[in-house]
């Protein structure tokens, strides 16, 4: 069965520093997608970044990059130059197969950025 594991319940980082949020996944599928979402206290899930299983280059979106290590089945999110507004819950998620976009989520990591 597919599973997403986020082992860091909480992380602290100082403003302007970089932080890495860990995510490992378990699947026997060859084709899958990996996503990161941010959830502020308001509750809305905000899409950050996507990595396809066949993509050879690590995805980047502005200050967000995804460190994709396929052999280790890890998809860590790197946030560069942290900002106070980055304080939120962060969820790693994956899809499988082709004909569905059903997301399987991890338990999340709460990131707190301090001045």
The DSSP annotation for 20-83 comes to EE--EEE---SSEEEEEEEE-TT---EEEEEEETT--SPPEETTEEEEEETTTTEEEEEE-S--
Shorter beta-carbon distance to another protein: residue 25 or 91: 91
Looking only at residues 32 through 51 of this chain, which bind another protein when binding is defined by CB under 8 A? 32-33, 35, 37, 42-47, 50
Interaction between residue 30 and another protein (CB under 8 A): no
C-alpha 29/C-alpha 114 separation (Å) is 39
Shorter beta-carbon distance to another protein: residue 33 or 67: 33
Interaction between residue 90 and another protein (CB under 8 A): no
C-alpha 1/C-alpha 53 separation (Å) is 17
Binding span for another protein by CB under 8 A among 11-19, 20-28, 30-38, 72-80: 30-38
Q: Which residues bind another protein (CB under 8 A)?
A: 4, 31-33, 35, 37, 42-47, 50, 52, 91, 93, 95-108
């Amino acid at each position: 069965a597919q599973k997403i594991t986020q082992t860091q319940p909480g992380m602290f980082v100082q403003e302007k520093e970089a932080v890495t949020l860990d995510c490992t996944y378990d699947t026997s599928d060859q084709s899958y997608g990996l996503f990161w979402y941010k959830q502020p206290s308001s509750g809305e899930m905000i899409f950050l970044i996507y990595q396809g299983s066949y993509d050879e280059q690590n995805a980047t979106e502005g200050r967000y990059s995804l460190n994709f290590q396929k052999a280790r089945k890890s998809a860590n999110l790197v946030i560069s130059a942290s900002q106070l507004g980055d304080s939120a819950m962060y969820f790693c998620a994956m899809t499988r197969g082709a004909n569905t976009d059903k997301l399987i989520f991890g338990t999340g990591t709460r990131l707190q950025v301090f001045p």
